[in-house]
Amino acid sequence: MKIKKIILLCIVLSIVLLSKPVKVDEILTEKGTFKLDISVAYSNIQQSKEMMSSMLYQTQNGDFIYLPTYLGSRDNNQDYFNYIFTLRYGINKDLELFVSLNLYNSTSYFQLSNVFENESMNGFNSLKMGATYQIKKETETPSLLLGISADVLENTVLGKEIEESYFKNFRIFGTSYYTVDPVVFLLQASYDISLQHEFTKMNVENGDIFTFSPQVYFSVNPYTNIYGGVRYTYQNENRVNEKIITINGSNISFLTGATYELNTKMILDVNAEFLNSIQVSRNTIATTLSYKF
């Protein structure tokens, strides 16, 4: 019995000693190198609404987009696929630049009164550019990274109408983490600013959005991390022609996932997010492959 306990203790100690939790080079691209992130996410979204509006959706790289909804009292079940390609380049050990292309495919099944219909859409969401800078390395106190990005080009979709806008959405974001081996405590926050723009001769102003997400990573072995956390989101009201069409509000979603280092150049991340509120239920599963070159 004692021998079994000793063997078990040795296994646990080896996992702890050999474990390799999240490192800054997985968050910030190394100097003089490129990193390509390819993300594919699937969301099932169920809604009940009685007016035409749009639903806020957060992609895997943190961008917010608006999914079209429909007029009338109806139940809507939507299958939404999101594809994100992000190219990063390390300027130096503390600064990286990135550009991100966001595409989508959506199929909605909805009941409007006694009519059952479906509608499919696909195409381009946005092209984003930005930078991330490491203000403070992790020492006896947590690290701190700050960043800013802008939507160079974005498609606004409502019903079957699509219009392009340029430099109308901006984001300020931050990340901080602290390691207590083999556990990493991670905090992420962002603030999205949306400027007024014209859409089919209407003045549209989407509300600013604030998010805050505490997460905990645990290193299972030298190649595998598991993590979990929550995301709090608060959005100000949306306006059309200066009139409020949706009020401000907040929600909390739950996150879980795992990362696996395939080799020295590739890391695979698989995660899920669950959101349930009075008006909408959204369950998302996503995978991201990061390749350094």
Residue 12 CA to residue 6 CA, distance in Å, equals 10
For 110, residues 6+ apart whose C-beta sits below 8 A from its C-beta are: 70, 74, 75, 76, 77, 116, 117, 118, 119
pLDDT the model gives residue 11: 40
Residue 19 CA to residue 218 CA, distance in Å, equals 9
pLDDT the model gives residue 226: 96
- Provide the CATH number for the domain around residue 63: 2.40.128.130
User: Quick one: how many helices (H) and strands (E) in the chain?
Assistant: 2, 19
C-beta neighbour count of 58 within 10 angstroms: 23
For 122, residues 6+ apart whose C-beta sits below 8 A from its C-beta are: 103, 104, 105, 106
pLDDT the model gives residue 253: 96
Identify whether the C-beta of residue 66 lies closer than 8 Å to the C-beta of residue 53. Answer: no
Domain residue limits at 39:
2-292
pLDDT the model gives residue 239: 84
pLDDT the model gives residue 7: 44
Between β-strands 183-194 and 209-221, what pairing exists: parallel, antiparallel or unpaired? antiparallel
> Mind giving me the DSSP string for 213-244?
EEEEEEEEETTEEEEEEEEEEEEPPEEETTEE
Residue 235 CA to residue 209 CA, distance in Å, equals 4
Check the CA dihedral 241-242-245-250 and report its sign: positive
Residue 9 CA to residue 7 CA, distance in Å, equals 5
pLDDT the model gives residue 136: 95
pLDDT the model gives residue 190: 97
> How many folded domains does the chain comprise?
1
The residues of the chain scoring below 50 in pLDDT are 4-25, 70-71
Between β-strands 266-276 and 144-158, what pairing exists: parallel, antiparallel or unpaired? unpaired
What is the pTM (predicted TM-score) of this model? 0.81
pLDDT the model gives residue 265: 94
